[in-house]
């Protein structure tokens, strides 16, 4: 059963096909109004969401399907039910599941146990592949290419799952250069730099000044400092206003710079920037719905194939457990601590991809 857990689950060819389908949906919506008639999407959201949840639900309705919706507060997980059991149960009611959960690796656990396709709608600070689909279509439409772009990523690069997924996706294209703009406490994890950016032969620089970086950027990807990812309120309060994009700062940017943001915005982009033609974050929202429509169509079509996708495979290390407190392995019933070795020889948790010390 084909699922989407990580953006790298999709090849470049498949990404191009999804973007082409999304554009066709925009141009010829009448062709798709009954494409999912008789099918049901279950949205399982254990974290707050506006855009992602409504985007999935609108996508399914516009394809002629129906939606079953469930929040963490109203589910049996409040009684202690595992993600694995939840996925098995929902497989009896729906044809496809979109899941968001605060534990890293939760979507993979769901996919390993479900009998229907799973779409990762965000698992903690790990990854968010469908936001990346929205980002990629926006970049393609605004810039016309993915190659030879200088991409600035600003804000919470440590816990920002949208940032991690976008880097994974763009690292497969030639000539990409990343400018990583963050306070030292929120720098991009080392494994993303070494095992994704450097492994693909791309360059990056780390800076703390947004103003210094702006003149060289083709794309600026702003992110909010996420209160829900911090264990210390004091640290969050100290860092939350690190970067605020204003019209005055934008005078330093190129005329064709594309400004992206996964939303929600708190105050890191002034509302005065919204009318600037370079602001593309509300276009991302529109593009996200159509890319999710294309993805739902693809996964439901491929669900008819009999073969089972191999997921969650790894090996045991005697006496070793994942040390990431946000990993699903700490809360999921009888979930084994499994590990894998990357191409670079680093041992990582199968579920959340944290390195084993």
Q: Report, as residue numbers or ranges, the catalytic residues.
A: 51-52, 79, 100, 128
Helices within the chain (DSSP H only): 12-27, 51-62, 83-90, 106-113, 129-143, 161-170, 190-192, 210-213, 233-239, 247-250, 281-302
Return the SS3 of 332.
coil
Pairing of strands 177-181, 150-154: parallel
C-alpha distances out from residue 261 to 190, 221, 285, Å:
23, 6, 10
111: preceding bond cis by omega (within 30 degrees): no
Tokens representing 247?
């019209």
Cβ atoms of 65 and 43 closer than 8 Å? no
Cα four-point dihedral sign 32, 36, 37, 40: negative
313: Cα separation from own chain's centroid: 22
Of 269, 287, 289, 288, the residue nearest 279 (C-alpha): 269
Contacts of 348 (CB under 8 A, 6+ apart): 191, 339, 340, 341, 342, 354, 355, 356
Of 152, 156, 175, 166, the residue nearest 196 (C-alpha): 166
């Amino acid at each position: 059963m084909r699922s989407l857990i990580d953006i790298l689950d999709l090849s470049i060819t498949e990404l191009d096909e999804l973007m082409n389908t999304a554009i066709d949906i925009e141009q010829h919506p009448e062709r798709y109004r009954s494409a999912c008639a008789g099918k049901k999407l279950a949205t399982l959201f254990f974290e707050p969401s506006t855009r992602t949840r409504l985007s999935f639900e609108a996508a399914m309705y516009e394809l002629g399907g129906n939606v079953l919706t469930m929040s963490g507060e109203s589910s049996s997980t409040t009684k202690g039910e595992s993600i694995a059991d939840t996925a098995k149960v929902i497989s009896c009611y729906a044809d496809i599941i979109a899941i968001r959960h605060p534990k890293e690796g939760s979507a993979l656990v769901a996919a390993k146990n479900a009998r229907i396709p799973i779409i990762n709608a965000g698992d903690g600070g790990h990854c968010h592949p469908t936001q990346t689909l929205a980002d990629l279509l926006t970049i393609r439409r605004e810039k016309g290419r993915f190659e030879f772009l200088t991409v600035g990523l600003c804000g919470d690069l440590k816990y920002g799952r949208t940032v991690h997924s976008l880097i994974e996706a763009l690292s497969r294209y030639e000539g990409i250069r990343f400018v990583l703009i963050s306070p030292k406490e929120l720098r991009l994890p080392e494994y993303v730099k070494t095992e994704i950016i450097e492994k693909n032969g791309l360059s990056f620089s780390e800076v703390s000044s947004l103003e210094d970086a702006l003149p060289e950027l083709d794309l600026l990807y702003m992110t909010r400092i996420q209160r829900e990812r911090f264990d210390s309120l004091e640290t969050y309060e100290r860092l939350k206003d690190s970067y605020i994009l204003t019209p005055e700062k934008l005078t330093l940017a190129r005329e064709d710079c594309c400004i992206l943001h996964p939303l929600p915005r708190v105050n890191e982009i002034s509302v005065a920037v919204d009318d600037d033609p370079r602001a593309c974050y509300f276009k991302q929202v529109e593009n996200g719905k159509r890319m999710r429509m294309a993805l739902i169509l693809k996964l439901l079509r491929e669900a008819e194939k009999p073969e089972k996708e191999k997921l969650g495979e790894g090996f045991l290390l005697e006496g070793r457990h994942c040390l990431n407190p946000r990993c699903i392995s700490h809360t999921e019933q009888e979930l084994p601590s499994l590990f894998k070795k990357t191409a670079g020889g680093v041992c990582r948790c199968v579920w959340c991809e944290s390195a084993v010390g």
